[in-house]
């Protein structure tokens, strides 16, 4: 069965960096685009970033553009989110999610999330 397991969250000071990982299993990882979505405490869902199946195309929400990068290692079935210059407003539960059929599609599986808290 499909499983997505996020890790790397924690408490970090404003201006510092953090790298999240999402380990995938149960499907052919290198076929699918992968996404990061976040949810601030008590708030709704905010899409953060997408990376294409081969890593050649990436897009970001305006709120993180220039500060966050996304990458993947298809040999390890893992997608990463590098978060730099963190701000208090980046505090959220970060989910990774799998594209349903490849690209330009809904998200059919989500991980349980990893919590990032930006605080001094």
Partner 1 sequence: DIVMTQSPDSLAVSLGERATINCKSSQSVLYSSNNKNYLAWYQQRPGQSPKLLIYWASLRKSGVPDRFSGSGSGTDFTLTISSLQAEDVAVYYCQQYFSGLSYTFGQGTKLEI
User: Per rule CB under 8 A, is residue 54 in the interface with partner 1?
Assistant: no
66 binds partner 1 (CB under 8 A): no
Neighbours of 41 (CB within 10 A): 9
Q: Is 110 in the site for partner 1 (CB under 8 A)?
A: yes
Tell me if 94 contacts partner 1 by CB under 8 A. Answer: no
Among 17, 71, 112, 119, binds partner 1 (CB under 8 A): 112
Our CB check for partner 1 shows the closer of 30 and 103 to be 103
Residue from 5, 46, 84, 117 touching partner 1 (CB under 8 A): that is: 46
Residue 68 near residue 48 (C-beta atoms within 8 A):
yes
In the complex, what is the shortest distance from the CB of residue 92 to partner 1, in angstroms, rounded to a whole number? 13
CA–CA distance, 54 with 29 (Å, rounded to integer): 10
Near partner 1 by CB under 8 A, which window of 24-32, 67-75, 80-88, 106-114? 106-114
Using CB under 8 A as the criterion, which residues of the chain lie in contact with partner 1 when the complex forms? Answer: 35, 37, 44-47, 50, 59, 61-62, 95, 100, 103-113
């Amino acid at each position: 069965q499909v499983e997505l397991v996020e890790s790397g969250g924690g408490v970090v000071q404003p201006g510092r960096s953090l790298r999240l990982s999402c380990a995938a299993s149960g499907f052919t990882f290198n076929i699918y685009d992968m996404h990061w979505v976040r949810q601030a405490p008590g708030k709704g869902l905010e899409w953060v970033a997408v990376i294409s199946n081969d890593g050649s195309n990436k897009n970001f929400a305006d709120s993180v553009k220039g500060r966050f990068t996304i990458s993947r290692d298809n040999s390890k079935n893992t997608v990463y989110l590098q978060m730099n210059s963190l701000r208090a407003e980046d505090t959220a539960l970060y989910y990774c999610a799998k594209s349903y059929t490849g690209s330009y599609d809904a998200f059919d599986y989500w991980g349980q999330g990893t919590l990032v808290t930006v605080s001094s």
